[in-house]
Amino acid sequence: MPATIVVGAQWGDEGKGKVVDWAAERADLVARYGGGDNAGHTVTVGGERFALHLIPSGILYPGKLCLMGSGMVVNPTRLVAELDGLAAREVDVSPDRLKLSTGAHLILPYHIALDGAQEAGRGKQAIGTTKRGIGPAYTDKSARVGLRAGSMYDPENFSEKVYQAVTGKNTLLTRVYEQPALDAKAIAVEFHDYARRLAPYLADVSLIANQALEADQHLLCEGAQGTLLDLNHGTYPFVTSSSPTSGGALTGLGFGPRHVTQVIGVAKAYTTRVGAGPFVTELLDETGDRLRGTGAHPWDEFGTTTGRPRRCGWLDAVILRYAARVNGLTHLALTKLDILSGFETLKIAVAYDHEGQRLTHLPLDAAVLAACQPIYEELPGWSEDIRDARSLDDLPAAAQHYVARIEELVGVPVTLVSVGPGREQTIVC
Ligand code: IMP
């Protein structure tokens, strides 16, 4: 019966992988519902660090069934590499444990080439995409010309379809974007192999999810990216091309809202963003540099997928209230609280100033948002290292107060606080 949805409450990179990993213990199935290998979910288990881009984080828990929904766009090259990488580290990635929806769309090399060419063509208006072909793959899906995973059931026919598709897109690449043509024959051969390799994983994921829910099993839906990158509800056009919000879980997996019992919004204790677009609480000073770190530690603010430095800023309660609204959040999970140790004071944006007007709701127009200034509330910081805290009482009073104030400002209970990358560095409130 119960389905739990975990969504990013900011611009992605909130630490969803760790929260999903924590929640997976109580789940029977773990499912990714949207996006592709633009995501990078990092989970640390027993000191070992795993970076997953396509396969649900639940794969690290033996015995959980993992689903990849039809809302996803899947690059077969990347999926095969991820399967091999996990298998080499003795994670069971057999088709018994992982199911790929026949309805998921495939990312082909021309999507990646087009992503790069289109970004270059945008000049100063570039979105800062991950260049993984995500936008062009969803464009083909919407235009009803995409290749779906289900076509890999028949490798011969699939290979022919790939050949035709590459040949067709070569016209676009060479004539419109003045890019080199791709080798259609070589790609068709390569994708023939992927089809043989991936066909055993293909399944009707909606059927599996619904049968499990009817049998009272617990389905955990793992969001990728974040609320403000949502195609419908994010800071358009600086968004991704999928629906990372909770509604995307229903359409991306194919089950109904009556099953959803919990929607957990994951938020960092501060804010980050990669790529272009408005970011009201961004800190372009030493404080921002300090939040980012130098890149020496795996938890420093550099992208798991692209290695790009993330833009950093103070926590923004306006954004979190918006995320609570559009996702119907029932809980908040606050991550990376440990990174705030050592700041004398902390700031939280409680509203925006837009040309002298106080805004308490997120403006939907990117240009208006870009012209907003944060109205901050200052809170006392703490100097203690909190990485060993295992209950709220273990936290210094100022850290407890920070968490409580977020709860008040957002109107959603904080039920989990993460104080480090390890599974055990988690406070359940
Ligand atoms: P795309 O998804 O590669 O098309 O990129 C569109 C925007 O979403 C860019 O600003 C990316 O940096 C951002 N983005 C996409 N995936 C992620 C993610 O997993 N974490 C953070 N930002 C992301």
Quote the pLDDT of residue 94.
97
Please check the confidence at residue 400 and state whether its pLDDT lies above 90.
yes
Alpha carbon distance 298, 275 (integer Å): 20
Q: For ligand 1, atom 21, which residue shows the shortest CA distance?
A: 12
Hey, is 70 helix, strand or coil?
Answer: coil
Q: 105-200 belongs to which homologous superfamily?
A: Adenylosuccinate Synthetase, subunit A, domain 2 (1.10.300.10)
Lowest mean pLDDT among 72-86, 146-160, 172-186, 286-300: 286-300
Residues 262-271 have pLDDT tens digits of: 999 999 999 9
Ligand 1 pocket member 10 (CB < 6 A): no
Question: How many Å lie between the centroid of ligand 1 and the Cα of residue 420?
Answer: 24
Ligand 1 pocket member 107 (CB < 6 A): no
Pair of tokens at residue 244: 């990372």
Mean pLDDT of 253-264: 97
For the chain, count helices (H), then strands (E).
Answer: 12, 20
β-pair partners for 159: none
Ligand 1 pocket member 312 (CB < 6 A): no
Question: How many Å lie between the centroid of ligand 1 and the Cα of residue 55?
Answer: 17
Domain at 3-95+204-428: CATH architecture: Alpha-Beta Complex (3.90)
C-beta neighbour count of 185 within 10 angstroms: 12
Ligand 1 pocket member 43 (CB < 6 A): no
Position 33 confidence tier, pLDDT thresholds 50, 70, 90: very high
Quote the pLDDT of residue 1.
61
Pair of tokens at residue 189: 């051969």
Position 233 confidence tier, pLDDT thresholds 50, 70, 90: very high
Please check the confidence at residue 307 and state whether its pLDDT lies above 90.
no
Quote the pLDDT of residue 299.
87
Contacting residues for 414 by C-beta, under 8 A, at least 6 apart: 331, 332, 333, 334, 403, 406, 407, 429
Position 298 confidence tier, pLDDT thresholds 50, 70, 90: confident
Residues tagged active-site: 13, 41
Quote the pLDDT of residue 350.
98
Bond preceding residue 380 cis, omega within 30 of 0: no
Share of the chain above pLDDT 90, in %: 90
- Write the DSSP symbol of residue 174: I
Contact at 8 Å (CB) between 352 and 319? no
The domains of the chain are located at 3-95+204-428, 105-200
From the number of C-beta atoms within 10 Å of its C-beta (0-12, 13-18, 19+), residue 424 rates as exposed
**Residue 297 φ/ψ region, left for φ over 0, alpha for ψ in the -120 to 50 degree band, beta for the rest:** beta
Question: How many Å lie between the centroid of ligand 1 and the Cα of residue 127?
Answer: 9
Position 306 confidence tier, pLDDT thresholds 50, 70, 90: confident
Which of 13, 42, 229 for a ligand 1 pocket mutation test, highest count of atoms within 8 Å of Cβ?
229
Question: How many Å lie between the centroid of ligand 1 and the Cα of residue 275?
Answer: 7
Mean pLDDT of 211-240: 97
Contact at 8 Å (CB) between 91 and 156? no
- Give the length of the chain: 429
Share of the chain above pLDDT 70, in %: 100
Contacting residues for 107 by C-beta, under 8 A, at least 6 apart: 36, 37, 73, 74, 75, 76, 78, 132, 133, 134, 137
Residues 160-190 have pLDDT tens digits of: 999 999 999 999 999 999 999 999 999 999 9
Residues 375-396 have pLDDT tens digits of: 999 999 999 999 999 999 999 9
Which of 227, 240, 311 for a ligand 1 pocket mutation test, highest count of atoms within 8 Å of Cβ?
240
Q: What is the CA radius of gyration of the chain?
A: 21
Q: For ligand 1, atom 2, which residue shows the shortest CA distance?
A: 240
Q: Which residue has the higher pLDDT, 324 or 1?
A: 324
Mean pLDDT of 335-359: 97
Q: How far apart are the first and last CA of the chain?
A: 24
Quote the pLDDT of residue 44.
80
Hey, is 252 helix, strand or coil?
Answer: helix
Please check the confidence at residue 41 and state whether its pLDDT lies above 90.
no
